Structure 1
Amino acid sequence: MFILSRLLRRCALLGAVISTPLAFAAGSQSIDEFYDGPYIFDGSDSTQHQVNWICNGKLKQQVHTQLNAQIQRPHNCGQLPQPSLNPDATQLSADSYSGIKQIVALSDVHGQFDVLVTLLQRHNIIDAQQNWTFGDGHMVMTGDMFDRGHQINEVLWLMYKLDAQATAAGGKLHLLMGNHEQMVLRGDLRYIHPRYELSSQLLERPYDQLYGRDTEIGQWLRSKNTLVKINDTLFLHGGIDIEWVNRKLALDKVNQLYRTNVDKTKAELKQDPLLSYLFFGNGPTWFRGYFDEDYSQQELERILAYFEVSRVAVGHTSQDRVLGRFNNKVIAIDSSIKKGKSGELLFIDQQLWRGTFTGEKLSL
C-alpha cells in the first residue's frame, strides 16, 4: 500500500515527470535513460496483442498479430527483450516425471538478470545468445523471480523463451511459483523495486495488473505449478511441513488450487482453512522449518515417505551456496542470487553437484 500511495501521488504529476529528470532509488538513472518492457496485453480479438514499451522514459505501443514472429522493439529502446509469442505457453504441465537423466535447479533470482545469465552460460544451460543448450535436461526454477531487483521483465521473458525452447529440444523448464509471485499477482506490492512505479504510471495500471489475466506473462504464470516431483526429488519454493501429510494432500489437487485462487485477496484466502494453510504460514511457499536447529528428522522422514522421494529441494531460505542438510535429504538452493553478486546451481544426475558461479561442478 505504501508503494501504491506513492504511485498515486506521482500520477498527479505525470505531465511534469515526463519532461523532468527523475532520480531512482537505485542510483542516478534519470527518466531519459529509463527502459522497460515489453508488456503485452490482449487486444480486441484473439489475434491481436498490444505491445507496450518504455523507451527513454516515454511509452511506445505496437499491435502484434503474428504468434510465431519475433516482436521487434522500437528504435532506440535499449536492449529490451524481443520475444516471440508461444501459442502453447499456457499448456499445463504434469506434476511428476520419471526417467529424467539431467536436472538443474535454482531459486530466488529476484530480478538479478545479469547474475542469472552468467550462471546459466558458465554451466552451458544457455549459449551466448541466451538460447537453451541443455538438450533433454530438465531445469527447475523454484520461484521468486519477482520483487527486490531491477530487471524483473528481463528474467521473465528469458524464462518464457527457455520454456518453449526446452520443450522443443525434448527437455523441460519447470517454473514454480514462489511466495513473491503469489504476492504480486494478488496485489501485495511491498517489495517491488522503485523503478517499476514509473512503469505503472506510464501504462496507467497498478503494477500487479501489468501481469493480469489479460497479459501474456500473466496468463503464462498462472498456468504454472507450485510443486513438481522429478525422479526421486520433490521441488518447491519453501518446504513441506507435516500438516500436508496430516491433511493427506495430493500434488495435482494443490497445484490446481494455487492456479485457481492466486488472484484472491489475503482476506478471501484466510476465510478458507485449506487456502489459508497453502498460501500463508507454514504452507509450501513460506515454510522454513528445515533450517530450524530443533527440526525433527523423524518428521522429515515421514514427509519423504509420503511423497516417495529421497530428498526435497527448496529455495526461500537464503544460503551462501547450494547446501545439503540431513545427509542431503534437504537441498537448499537459494544461493543468494538476489544480492546481485553471484549464485549457484544444483545439478542432479547420478550424483548431486554444486554448480559454482565460476563454472565449476563440485560434489555436494
Structure 2
Amino acid sequence: MNKIFRLSLLGLTLLSPFAIAESVTEFDGPYVITPAPAQTTAYWVCDSKLKTTAIVSQQVNRPAHCGDLPEVILSDDLKQVMPDTYSEIKKVVALSDVHGQYDVLITLLKNQQIIDNKGKWAFGEGHMVMTGDIFDRGHQVNEVLWFMYQLDQQAREAGGMVHLLMGNHEQMVLGGDLRYVHQRYDVAAKLIDRPYDKLYGADTEIGQWLRSKNTIIKINDVLYMHGGISSEWISRELTLAKANSLYRQHIGTEKKVLKEDDLLNFLFYGNGPTWYRGYFSKEFTEPELDTILSYFNVKRIVVGHTSQERVLGLFHNKVIAVDSSIKNGQSGELLLIENNALTRGLYDGSRQTL
C-alpha cells in the first residue's frame, strides 16, 4: 500500500470513526417508533440506506432486499408491568452480560436446549432470567433485543416467562450515557436523525418494553439482580416493589438529578443493586451475606456484572455469579436450577453440577 495513502487512512480512522463505518455495507433494524397515536413506523438501514415501512395489524415486515433482519409481531401485553415475586416455579435458567454478542447467545441457548434449532422457546413452563447488560460494547445489540422480545412472547404462550432485568448499561444508555456504544450504531443514529439513546426512547416499541421491566426479582427462594444487594439496602428498609417502581420511574432521569437525591443515588450508583461488586471483595463475609439472605427470606442470590470465566458459586453457593464473559464473543455459560439442583450449562451443550 502506498505510504501516503496509509497515512491518510490512519488519519481518517483517528479523526472520523463514522467515516469508516460508512465504508461498510450496513443492515440494521427495525427501530419501531410511534410519532403520533395509532401511527407507527419501522425504520430500517438497508445497504447503508434508510428505508421505512408502515406497521399493519402489529406485524413488522422488513423491506425487500434488506438482509435477514428480524420480522416481528408487536404485543402490547409485553409492555405491562409484571410481578417481581414468583413461587412454585419448577425450573429456571439464568445468564447475564450478553453485551450485543447475539451469535454466542444463540449458540449457547440452542446447545442447552433452551431454544430449538429455529431459535424458538423450548423451555416450556420454565422461567429465564437475563440479569442485565444487553446494551453496549458488542455489535449485535439490536438483534439481541428483538430476539429477547420475541422469546418473551413465546415463553408466555408456553406458560413460561422471560425476565429481562435492568443492568447498569441499560440505565446508562437509556439515561444518555453513550460511552460504550459500538461504532456500528452511528449509522442508524445518523440516518434516522436521532441520538442512539432516543432510538430506544419512551416513544419506541423496544423502549416501552424495556421501561416496563423489573430490576430485581425473587423466584422461589432465589433473588436475581445485576450487581448485588449490599447491607445498605437493609439499613434503608427497602422493598422490591418500591425499588422496582423507582427504577422504572427514573430510568431516563438525568444523572445530575439522580445524584442529588440520596435514595436515587444509592439505587442507580455506588452500592446499589446494578453496580455493587461487594461479594467479590476480600472484606465481604459470609455472616454479612446471611443477614442479607434472611432479610429477603431467600437461600441464595444470583448476580451478573462481575465477569468470570464460568458460572461460579461463592459462599457455599449462596451467591452465584452468572457473568461468564459472553461479552468477549467467544463462549459462555448459563445457570440451571431445577428441583433445588444447581447446574452449569456449558457452551458445548454439556452440563456440570455447580
Equivalent residue for 1:114?
Answer: 103
Q: Does 1:232 align with 2:221?
A: yes
1:278 counterpart (267, 274, 297):
267
Matches within 5 A, 1:95-134: 95-134=84-123
Q: Deviations over 1:182-229 (max 9, x none)?
A: 000010000000111111101100000000000000000000000000
1:311 to 1:212, Cα distance in 2 relative to 1, 3 A: same
1:184 counterpart (148, 170, 173):
173
Equivalent residue for 1:4?
Answer: none
Matches within 5 A, 1:240-255: 240-255=229-244
Instruction: Provide the rounded CA distance (Å) in 1 between the counterparts of 2:325 and 2:237.
Output: 33
Unaligned residue ranges in structure 1 (runs of 5+): 1-8, 12-16
Matches within 5 A, 1:4-153: 22-24=19-21, 30-31=23-24, 33-46=25-38, 48-67=39-58, 69=59, 71-153=60-142
In structure 1, the residue corresponding to 2:352 is in which secondary structure?
strand
1:217 counterpart (176, 181, 206):
206
In structure 1, the residue corresponding to 2:31 is in which secondary structure?
strand
Equivalent residue for 1:3?
Answer: none
Instruction: Provide the rounded CA distance (Å) in 1 between the counterparts of 2:153 and 2:234.
Output: 34
1:256 counterpart (237, 245, 255):
245
Letter in 2 for 1:354: R
Letter in 2 for 1:105: A
TM-score scaled by length of structure 1? 0.91
Instruction: Provide the rounded CA distance (Å) in 2 between the counterparts of 1:347 and 1:106.
Output: 9
TM-score scaled by length of structure 2? 0.94
Unaligned residue ranges in structure 2 (runs of 5+): 1-14
Equivalent residue for 1:335?
Answer: 324
Letter in 1 for 2:270: G
Equivalent residue for 2:154?
Answer: 165
Instruction: Provide the rounded CA distance (Å) in 2 between the counterparts of 1:333 and 1:263.
Output: 27
1:355 counterpart (339, 345, 351):
345
Q: Does 1:204 align with 2:196?
A: no
Work out whether residues 28 and 44 of structure 2, in 8 Å CA contact, stay in contact via their aligned partners in 1: yes
Work out whether residues 229 and 292 of structure 2, in 8 Å CA contact, stay in contact via their aligned partners in 1: yes
In the TM superposition, residue 325 of structure 1 has moved relative to its aligned partner by 0.3
Instruction: Provide the rounded CA distance (Å) in 2 between the counterparts of 1:304 and 1:164.
Output: 32
Letter in 2 for 1:23: I
Letter in 2 for 1:121: K
Instruction: Provide the rounded CA distance (Å) in 1 between the counterparts of 2:16 and 2:71.
Output: 29
Work out whether residues 27 and 45 of structure 2, in 8 Å CA contact, stay in contact via their aligned partners in 1: yes
Instruction: Provide the rounded CA distance (Å) in 2 between the counterparts of 1:44 and 1:208.
Output: 19
Instruction: Provide the rounded CA distance (Å) in 2 between the counterparts of 1:208 and 1:45.
Output: 21
In structure 2, the residue corresponding to 1:234 is in which secondary structure?
strand
In structure 1, the residue corresponding to 2:79 is in which secondary structure?
coil
Instruction: Provide the rounded CA distance (Å) in 1 between the counterparts of 2:279 and 2:114.
Output: 29
In structure 1, the residue corresponding to 2:125 is in which secondary structure?
coil
Letter in 1 for 2:206: I
In the TM superposition, residue 77 of structure 1 has moved relative to its aligned partner by 1.0
Letter in 2 for 1:208: D
In structure 2, the residue corresponding to 1:309 is in which secondary structure?
coil
Aligned pair count?
340
Q: Deviations over 1:238-264 (max 9, x none)?
A: 000000011110001100000000110
In the TM superposition, residue 76 of structure 1 has moved relative to its aligned partner by 1.5
Letter in 2 for 1:124: Q
In structure 2, the residue corresponding to 1:89 is in which secondary structure?
helix
In the TM superposition, residue 43 of structure 1 has moved relative to its aligned partner by 3.9
In the TM superposition, residue 10 of structure 1 has moved relative to its aligned partner by 7.2
Letter in 1 for 2:28: D
In the TM superposition, residue 89 of structure 1 has moved relative to its aligned partner by 1.6
Instruction: Provide the rounded CA distance (Å) in 1 between the counterparts of 2:298 and 2:346.
Output: 26
Q: Deviations over 1:19-55 (max 9, x none)?
A: xxx434xxxx833x20111000014322x31100000
Work out whether residues 97 and 132 of structure 2, in 8 Å CA contact, stay in contact via their aligned partners in 1: yes
Work out whether residues 53 and 61 of structure 2, in 8 Å CA contact, stay in contact via their aligned partners in 1: no
In the TM superposition, residue 60 of structure 1 has moved relative to its aligned partner by 0.2
1:294 counterpart (283, 308, 315):
283
In the TM superposition, residue 137 of structure 1 has moved relative to its aligned partner by 0.2
In the TM superposition, residue 62 of structure 1 has moved relative to its aligned partner by 1.0
In structure 1, the residue corresponding to 2:53 is in which secondary structure?
strand
Q: Deviations over 1:145-172 (max 9, x none)?
A: 0000000000000000011111111000
Q: Deviations over 1:302-352 (max 9, x none)?
A: 000000000000000000000000000000000000000000010001200
Instruction: Provide the rounded CA distance (Å) in 1 between the counterparts of 2:330 and 2:350.
Output: 17
